[in-house]
């Protein structure tokens, strides 16, 4: 029987037998559907990539206000779209190191202030135009410019000079930064012709696909880029991405076979989704975190005692149990967990209604506190807000919940309203996370955290080449955020995605969900 099943699985991979017929014949031979699906998936992965067909993926987070300008990407939908057509200098590897992409190699001066990136030769953009080091320079200039609204602006601060030298891109810093290559893997920094200065929304890049159709927040169709150069991506002839923010609709799409890949499986239904025929739920721990963010410079949250009252008034373990259903871990009001290389443990802040009540009284605040939320901010966010309301109420804090529309949440609520639910997917290094969201000058400083001591220590940590000292400095930065910041981080979420056995090529990957947002570009159809 095994020989016959192996033969049939190869026929499916070669597209000479469809998956349904394979499962039917396997059943006739006495094999369960689950075992047959596993056999087929294993054989397909071992056989390697198969070209052709259309991969369909359902992704959350999209909005009608989304822009194709990679500088303005704010959600998973847009990051995935950007990954399809664009490429950065370097990219985070599956196991956490760096892969050279547009940069063929890179090196640093002994003091880590001057970095040289040798630009790969023979690459063309999707419009046929050759990529040069000048395009790299122009890209960095646009994102680092004084008028820039780029999400990468925070990590590009402190540049003394940028130039092209004999086919290489050279970046000189005002102070040392041992993590610079990791920072340049940021998903906003896709290399564009003339840096995107002429048309930042043209979606012209060196990635495996080109955009054929696009309706923001609804649907994007990709076709293979004829000038693509990297053979580890772009196996499907085309890809259709559906922006489906409603959890029930997105899970229905993967369970019914309407799509092959879906992100953000709500933990409370993960076991149910996994029981669907031909569907596998994939859980990957990482730096992603679900948060409640306060603008620390805006009343009433400019009052430290009120911030502390809210931090003591949330039951973190209850959040992990009832919102994540075990697919995650307890947070501690910083964005850093054990997935980071220089992580240090610190005393866990526990739910304490008495301390919360003490700080509330000390704050002098009277009346309610308005918290805005939406399903689009993170899976289960309205339920998490309700739990927060209950636990804070035990301390005498009157938390008022306002449920905002899903569409437009990232443009009208996040980073604009003073108290709301949100999420961060994390970054490759502490410096990248801190520089993106907590440095005083960061454009995405969504807690309005302005702390001179924090800024100075962060800059010093970048240039510290002694790992032990550097770890201690990051521990101090965490403590400052924990005590002074506007971040309430109750939980770190596992990335929970789902795929059908019609596709192969999945790999547990560092970074963001759905294989660091590369799943549709790296996976392939098997039948």
Shared domain check, 319 and 304: yes
74, pLDDT greater than 70: yes
DSSP code for 29? T
192, pLDDT greater than 60: yes
What's the count of helices (H) and strands (E) in the chain, helices before strands? 18, 21
Count of domains for the chain: 4
In a domain, 502, yes or no: no
141, pLDDT greater than 70: yes
Shared domain check, 98 and 165: yes
The predicted model gives 223-252 an average pLDDT of 97
Shared domain check, 463 and 409: yes
Asked which of 144, 162, 196 is the last residue of a domain, the reply is: 196
Look at 11-20, 231-240, 357-366 and tell me which has the smallest mean pLDDT: 11-20
pLDDT of res. 146: 85
Angle at 148 between CA 289 and CA 187, to 5 degrees: 40
Per residue in 306-347, pLDDT (tens digit) is: 999 999 999 999 999 999 998 999 999 999 999 898 999 999
Shared domain check, 488 and 516: no
404, pLDDT greater than 90: yes
Q: Which two three-digit tokens encode residue 186? A: 């940021």
Find residue 496's DSSP bridge partners. 283
Q: Which band of pLDDT confidence, cut at 50, 70 and 90, is reported for residue 155? A: confident
In a domain, 500, yes or no: no
Share of the chain above pLDDT 70, in %: 91
Report the SS3 class of residue 322.
helix
In a domain, 467, yes or no: yes
Shared domain check, 412 and 335: yes
224, pLDDT greater than 90: yes
Give this prediction's pTM: 0.77
Nearest to 485 by CA among 447, 431, 446, 434: 447
230, pLDDT greater than 50: yes
The beta strand positions in 6-129, using DSSP E, are 54-59, 90-92, 98-100, 103-108, 114-119
Contact call for residues 208 and 233 (beta carbons, < 8 A): yes
Shared domain check, 445 and 359: yes
The CATH number of residue 404's host domain is 3.10.105.10
Shared domain check, 354 and 474: yes
Per residue in 420-478, pLDDT (tens digit) is: 999 998 988 999 999 999 999 988 999 999 999 999 999 999 888 888 999 999 999 99
pLDDT of res. 62: 93
Asked which of 153, 177, 196 is the last residue of a domain, the reply is: 196
- 35-60 CB burial, b ≥16 within 10 A, e <16: ebbebbbebbbebebbeebebbbbbb
In a domain, 479, yes or no: yes
Residue 32 and residue 24: Cα distance in Å, rounded?
A: 10
Whole domain around residue 30: which residue ranges? 2-47
8, pLDDT greater than 50: no
- 211-226 CB burial, b ≥16 within 10 A, e <16: beebebbbebbbbbbe
Q: Which band of pLDDT confidence, cut at 50, 70 and 90, is reported for residue 500? A: very high
Q: Which two three-digit tokens encode residue 408? A: 């437009």
Shared domain check, 41 and 58: no
Per residue in 258-273, pLDDT (tens digit) is: 999 999 999 999 999 9
Shared domain check, 425 and 320: yes
Whole-angstrom CA distances from 270 to 34, 192, 255, 283, 327 are 17, 39, 11, 10, 9
Contact call for residues 71 and 150 (beta carbons, < 8 A): yes
pLDDT of res. 323: 95
The pLDDT mean for the chain works out to 92
Nearest to 335 by CA among 439, 414, 258: 439
Per residue in 24-70, pLDDT (tens digit) is: 555 555 565 555 555 555 655 566 799 999 999 999 989 999 999 99
Asked which of 176, 196, 216 is the last residue of a domain, the reply is: 196
The CATH number of residue 98's host domain is 3.90.76.10
The predicted model gives 369-379 an average pLDDT of 94
pLDDT of res. 38: 57
In a domain, 347, yes or no: yes
The CATH number of residue 231's host domain is 3.40.190.10
In a domain, 434, yes or no: yes
Shared domain check, 346 and 217: no
Q: Omega before 300 cis (within 30°)?
A: yes
Shared domain check, 231 and 176: no
In a domain, 504, yes or no: no
126, pLDDT greater than 80: yes
pLDDT of res. 291: 98
Higher pLDDT, 16 or 507: 507
The predicted model gives 81-101 an average pLDDT of 94
In a domain, 192, yes or no: yes
Shared domain check, 37 and 58: no
């Amino acid at each position: 029987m095994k020989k016959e099943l192996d033969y049939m699985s190869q026929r499916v991979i070669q597209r000479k037998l469809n998956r349904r017929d394979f499962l039917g014949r396997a059943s006739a031979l006495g094999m369960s559907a689950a075992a047959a699906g596993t056999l087929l998936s294993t054989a397909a992965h071992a056989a390697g990539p198969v070209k052709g067909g259309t991969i369909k993926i359902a992704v959350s987070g999209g909005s009608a206000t989304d822009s194709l300008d990679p500088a303005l990407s704010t959600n998973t939908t847009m990051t995935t779209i950007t990954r399809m057509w664009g490429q950065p200098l370097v990219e985070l590897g599956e196991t956490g190191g760096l892969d050279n992409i547009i940069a063929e190699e890179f090196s640093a001066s002994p003091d880590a202030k001057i970095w040289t990136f040798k630009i790969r030769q023979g690459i063309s953009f999707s419009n046929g135009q050759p990529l040069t080091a000048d395009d790299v320079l122009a890209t960095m200039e646009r994102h680092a410019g004084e008028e820039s609204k780029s999400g990468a602006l925070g990590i590009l601060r402190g540049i003394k000079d940028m130039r092209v030298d004999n086919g290489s891109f050279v970046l000189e810093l005002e102070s040392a930064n041992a993590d610079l290559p990791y920072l340049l893997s940021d998903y906003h920094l896709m290399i564009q012709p003339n840096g995107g200065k002429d048309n930042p929304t043209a979606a012209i890049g060196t990635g495996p696909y080109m955009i054929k159709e696009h309706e923001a927040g609804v649907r994007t169709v990709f076709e293979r880029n004829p000038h693509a150069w990297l053979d580890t991506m772009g196996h499907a002839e085309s890809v259709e991405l559906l922006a489906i923010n409603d959890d029930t609709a997105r899970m229905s799409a993967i369970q019914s076979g309407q799509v092959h890949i879906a992100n953000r499986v709500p933990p409370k239904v993960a076991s149910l989704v996994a029981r669907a025929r031909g569907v596998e739920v994939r859980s990957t721990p990482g730096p992603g975190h679900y948060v409640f963010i306060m603008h620390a410079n805006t009343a009433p949250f400019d009052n430290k005692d009120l911030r502390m009252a809210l931090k003591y008034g949330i039951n973190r373990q209850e959040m992990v149990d009832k919102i994540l259903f075990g697919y995650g871990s307890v947070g501690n009001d910083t964005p850093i967990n054990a997935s980071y290389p220089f992580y240090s443990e610190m005393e866990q802040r526990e739910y304490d209604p008495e301390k919360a009540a003490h700080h509330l009284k000390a704050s002098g605040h009277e009346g309610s506190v308005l918290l805005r939320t939406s399903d689009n901010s993170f899976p289960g966010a309205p339920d998490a807000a309700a739990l927060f309301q209950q636990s804070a109420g035990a301390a005498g804090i009157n938390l008022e919940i306002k449920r905002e529309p899903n569409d437009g949440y990232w443009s009208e609520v996040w980073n604009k309203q003073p108290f709301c639910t949100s999420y961060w997917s994390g970054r490759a290094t502490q410096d990248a996370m801190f520089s993106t969201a907590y440095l005083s000058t960061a454009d995405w400083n969504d807690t309005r955290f302005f702390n001179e001591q924090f800024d100075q220590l962060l800059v010093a940590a970048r240039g510290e080449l002694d790992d032990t000292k550097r770890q201690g400095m990051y521990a101090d930065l965490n403590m400052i955020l924990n005590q002074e910041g506007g971040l309430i981080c109750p939980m770190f979420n596992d990335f929970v995605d789902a795929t059908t056995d019609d596709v192969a090529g999945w790999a547990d990957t560092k970074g963001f969900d759905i294989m660091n947002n590369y799943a549709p570009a790296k996976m392939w159809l098997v039948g």
